[in-house]
Structure formats: structure tokens, C-alpha cells
Chains A and B, each alone.
Chain A
């Protein structure tokens, strides 16, 4: 199933939201993705967004995102948003089905993909 980045940043292009394709995640088995984010220097478009998936490795690296324009504690990375839903406002013509969530780990930097694959294997053995 295809996935994409979906972000709101302080861009000056008139768009509210931005998106980039990230490839695919498998259906019917446990999977994982890693999202890494670096805040920008206020006034400069040097913020970063990086994604890797368990199946495909690194799939996105952007380094020109102006997340914020104020260097204050209130503009830092402060939330992990466990947000799983359809749309916007619609799930399409069919019942959307079932999703499981086994957790999320926030780390200082890039975690070891071997550890992630080991956790996926454990979850698959458990289910």
C-alpha cells in the first residue's frame, strides 16, 4: 500500500500542506517506517525530513524545509501524534477494515534497521 509524507510547514508557496511519495508498505504482515526530522534555522530553509521503510530502506531525504520562523522552545519537536484515520472527511465507498499498532519509539537519531527488522519478526511470530 502506498504511503507518503504529509506535512504542514512554514512554506512561502501558498500551499497549506505538502506531500511526497514514500513507496509502499506491505499489507497482511507487520511493517515499520522511520521518520526523522531536523528543525530549520529560523529564516533559513534548511530543515530536514527523512524517511526509511523496513522493506525499502531510505526512501525520502529533503533538506530545504522551513518548519518554523521563530527560535523559541514552543517551536521545537514536542509531539508524537498517533493519528490513524481516513481522509480528511471520507473513507471511500467501502468499510476501511482493520489496522493494528504495536507502538512507536522516538530516538535521538537514526535507529539500527536490524533492531527494527528483529522487532517486526517478533511481532509476526506473536500474531
Chain B
């Protein structure tokens, strides 16, 4: 006769042991990744003054590899579960964009077929002022997509360029002019900033 109580206890023990093994395996992976990450630092320490030129071919090739340093993050205490929509930005917002694309069934699709072309789509959309917000971006990188040297993807910002009128003029704050900034090498100025997203070609030191 089968003792089902004993079987259940045995299965539970097996599950616990498996979880411990998986955790140990993950820890080993993390330690291994840390050692690998530290290796270049150790290797270049003897020639710390020399700065290696950027190898863009290598960077582009590496763009398809998953970054081993990324692990799961905790949801911060300041972030509530709240899907209340502040603004829906549909593909139709790109209808007046100067960059060639097709818009069909709520999807904007653009192809860059020449090396000199740089921009798939560009549109600044104003949203009601918020101190906290999330944006969810739906994208498809088609099979012919190549990340090249890397590039930019949509994100939240406050550059000053989203103002409905007078966007070319500096904003006046406390009697001082604040030109559009926080993008394209224009430093954040205490008022303006941006938080776009990037693809491919990641490097920690970007100026």
C-alpha cells in the first residue's frame, strides 16, 4: 500500500533541495560573471594611462548579446500599481512626421534602407505635468533590423521642446532664461532633463 503522506513529504523535500541547488547555481553564475567583469580592469591596470579607441564593429556585434550584469530589480517603494492612463499616444500621432513611414491598423512602420538615413520616427508629445509617471512603449524590431552603433528609443522627458507654443524661445524661470536642453549634448540645466531609452552599443562612459 502506498503511503501518500510520505510521498508528499518526499516531494516537498525534493522541491526544497532543487530550489537550494538552483540558488547555488545562480550564485555561482553571478560570482563567475563578477570575476569575468573584473578581469579587464585587472588586465589594463598596468597600462591605465592609455585609452583604447572605441571598436564600433565589436560594439555592434555585442548588441545582440544579453548583458550578463542585468538581473531582476525590485519595484521601488515610490512606485504604485496604478494603470490610470494620463495620455495614450497612438501611432497616428506620427502622421505629420516628415520621416517616411506607413501607418496601417494602428501601427507605424519605417525602414531605413540607406546607411546615411538616421531617423525612423520623431515626435514630441506634450503630456499634463506630472511628478511621477510611467510610459509603456510597444515596438517591433523587424528581422532586417541592425543596431549598428546603437541609437535611441522613446522615453519621458522635459527638454522644453514639448511646449505647445513658443518652444523655440527660452523658458523664463525665476526671472532667468532656460533654453531647451537636456538632449543632444545640451547639459541638463536644473529645469530641463530627459530620460529616453537606448538600443545597442551600450557603454557606461558616454561623456
Q: Which residues of A contact B (CB under 8 A)?
A: 1-11, 15-39, 48-51, 56-61, 63, 67-70, 72-112, 115-116, 119-120, 123, 126-127
Q: Which residues of B contact A (CB under 8 A)?
A: 56-57, 60, 62-67, 69-76, 78-91, 93-94, 105-127, 129-163, 171, 173-174, 178, 181-183, 185-200, 202-207
Cβ-defined contact, B189 with A10, below 8 A = yes
Number of A-B contacts (CB under 8 A): 469
In addition to A80-B157, A86-B118, 4 A-B residue pairs with Cβ atoms within 8 Å of each other are A3-B197, A10-B190, A97-B111, A123-B138
Query: CB-CB < 8 A to B88: which residues of A?
Result: 103, 105-106
Within 8 Å by CB of A82, from B83, B121, B160, lies B121
Cβ-defined contact, A105 with B153, below 8 A = no
Within 8 Å by CB of A7, from B67, B163, B195, lies B195
CB distance from A84 to the nearest CB of B (A): 4
Cβ-defined contact, A38 with B132, below 8 A = yes
Cβ-defined contact, B118 with A38, below 8 A = no
Query: CB-CB < 8 A to A33: which residues of B?
Result: 136-137, 139, 153, 197
Check A59/B70 contact, CB under 8 A, given A27-B141, A67-B193: yes
Cβ-defined contact, A2 with B63, below 8 A = yes
Cβ-defined contact, B112 with A101, below 8 A = no
Cβ-defined contact, A28 with B141, below 8 A = yes
Within 8 Å by CB of B126, from A19, A39, A79, lies A79
Within 8 Å by CB of A50, from B75, B105, B109, lies B75
* A-B pairs, 7 with minimum CB distance: A92-B148, A109-B82, A79-B162, A98-B142, A97-B144, A6-B198, A97-B145
Most B Cβ at <10 Å: residue of A11, A63, A83:
A83
